[in-house]
Amino acid sequence: MGSSEVAELVSLAGATAVVTGGGGGIGGGTSRLLAAAGATVVLNDIDAELAAVAVADIEAGGGSAVAVVGDIRDAEVVERLHATATEVAEGAVDVLVNNVGDYRPNGRFVETDDEQWEAQYEIQLRHVFRCTRAFLPEMQAVGRGAIVNVSTVEAFRGIPMNTAYSAFNAGISAFTRSLAVEVGRDGVRVNCIAPDMADTLQTPAEAMLRGRDPDLVGSWIPLGRWGQPSDYARAVLFLASDLSSFVTGSTLMVDGGTMAASGWYGRADGRGWTNLPDRP
């Protein structure tokens, strides 16, 4: 296989890609990379400034992007995103990236309430259902499409003080597997990435390392560094492109090796748990 054939496999030229939470962090890195691969990107973000910067960056790089500002938890925003994207694509979009999520500990499970559970459902899982239901029928009608969901490694290991977050993210991966089987014969692939140690606006490495010995990073993360938005975006591009043409129903760990190496630990002082041990 020559270089031109390899380039064609990873190219999204002529495609339309939708990215929720596509202004900053993992979503921002994904929007920019999919555009660099040739896709016209329709990105959603709740932050108008982040969305505008992402569009400007993409256009400065010679790409094409449109922003739909709003809270993806709102059904009206999903409808507006769908209407905008299908107009841009003149029909079915080629790639849907359900990226939005929120890491926010709720405390001990017995002290949480229905309102907190509902909030976690809305921000982690419900919008994934809504966006997928909005875009999937057109993909099925044309016999092609790639859906990439974003979960977390915390869906696969215990995370005390954040049980609902873990449960709903596990739901994303379960949804991915089941939907992949359901729509595979329609030519639609459904996959997922599970990030960890992401140096983003929501979980900045500087804040995570505050008060800790940075020399221990290699003890926590086998690859010895925090993940950058571009690391996760490359995994999404792989799953969105023809490089993964025979991959569906999978969740890809994008974690620097943390799931292979470790989990959560009780703190030495007895005050809760940590996934960043204070001692080697």
CA-nearest of 240, 171, 273 to 10 is 240
**Tens-place pLDDT, residues 72-90:** 999 999 999 999 999 999 9
| Domain ranges (residues) in the chain | 13-207+224-261
**Tens-place pLDDT, residues 156-184:** 998 999 999 999 999 999 999 999 999 99
Catalytic member of 103, 121, 165, 232: 165
CATH number of 13-207+224-261: 3.40.50.720
Active site residue 103: no
pTM to 2 decimal places: 0.93
The pLDDT value recorded for residue 199 is 83
